[in-house]
Amino acid sequence: MHLVQILLPLFDNDGEAFGEELYSKIRSELTERFGGLTAFTSAPAQGLWKSEGKTKHDEIVVFEVMTADIDAHWWKHYREALETAFRQDTILIRAQPVSIL
């Protein structure tokens, strides 16, 4: 079993908030495909990174799904669609193996 986490920004590069309808669409898509979803949206996380000697930041929400197998081809195309929808150079999607206890 794998836990897949999708880190999504709350604001675009100009500081404008993305509308709830975008997140709702993603929740629906993932729930339909994977049968469930966990969304961490009430307390946004903050991402920090260095770029060109400056510290940049994002406020993010995390969507998680569980899946038996990783379809890398599907995830690649889904990530690219998210990057377009959120107008981002990169959307981080990560997966890790998990054991159900």
Q: How far is it, in rounded angstroms, from Cα 96 to Cα 26?
A: 21
Is 2-97 in CATH node 3.90.209.20? no
pLDDT band at 7 (very low <50, low <70, confident <90, very high): very high
Q: Please state, in angstroms and as integers, the Cα–Cα distance from residue 58 to each residue in 42, 47, 50, following that order.
A: 15, 5, 12
Give per-residue pLDDT as tens, 14-40: 888 898 999 999 999 999 999 999 998
Residue 78: Cβ within 10 Å count: 19
**CB proximity list for 71: less than 8 A, separation 6 or greater:** none
